[in-house]
Structure 1
């Protein structure tokens, strides 16, 4: 059976919430409350610009099976926009069904049709399956960047110092 991939709309809030809850467990985070995830999904899908969709959902056998969360960034040094793939997640029951490949193919098609020059992404160093998946797709590993994060108290300190 084919994998159907589309940009999420407000009608997909429940599907998005389901994926978000499963992602939290996979990424070793505390479990999310489904109602809280549903509220966030409704908000995000209702507020996002249709010019820059942010969530692609994959459906296999009629069930939500995967998610790609993306952002479009404007010109880098090469004056081309880029897509940043924040998360790619496939539910356990849909592994090895082509869901991840279908999501990446959907994103690649969007990039090519919209003049977006590349997809940048990160993955955890412990996520061997993801590293193998991206290598099979031809993703190049770049070691020239270091992933950093400002959150929580660091954000407050930056604000206080500015």
Structure 2
């Protein structure tokens, strides 16, 4: 792919159906298709409503939608600075190897620097060795001493309903 044209742009409300489709494709790749229940309406509200909570960059290869990055800001109490957290990065299989993943990551790194972020972080499934290798190739360091913890569904609601601990 020597003469490949790669373009990256911020998503717009008109892109919501494409974003949802890319999320479904990512969920299928991650063997979690049943977990991808986001609707166009929910994505439109959360990404482009009165109080957006995340942003999306779309990547195109030769004018075709090829991938996306969904990200938001978090905060490091130790640094006293906000950070940029990459929730999802996905490049469609037929476009892998064209350089889109590296371009998306570099664009996000530039945004983090421009916005005064002290960190740029993300999680990756431990079985996803191609992605882990890619992340190492761009200089990322694994935080192996940390594990993700999650409350959702019934457990989240049960804890929220407790008055005492």
Cα-to-partner distance string for 1:31-68 (whole Å, 9 max, x where unaligned) = 6899x643333333321657x75211111111111111
Extract structure 1 runs of 4+ deviating beyond 4 A.
Answer: 31-34
Which residue matches 1:46? Answer: 48
Matches within 5 A, 1:1-162: 1-30=4-33, 37-47=39-49, 49=51, 54-162=55-163
Judge which range, 82-91 or 11-20, deviates more: 11-20
Q: How many residues align?
A: 160
How far, CA to CA, are the matches of 1:54 and 1:82 in structure 2? Answer: 14
Task: Work out whether residues 13 and 41 of structure 1, in 8 Å CA contact, stay in contact via their aligned partners in 2.
Answer: yes
In 2 relative to 1, CA 29–161 (structure 1 residues): closer, same or farther, beyond 3 Å? same
In 2 relative to 1, CA 134–33 (structure 1 residues): closer, same or farther, beyond 3 Å? closer
TM-score of the superposed pair, with normalisation by structure 2? 0.86
3-state DSSP of counterpart to 1:116? coil
In 2 relative to 1, CA 111–62 (structure 1 residues): closer, same or farther, beyond 3 Å? same
Q: CA RMSD in A?
A: 2.2
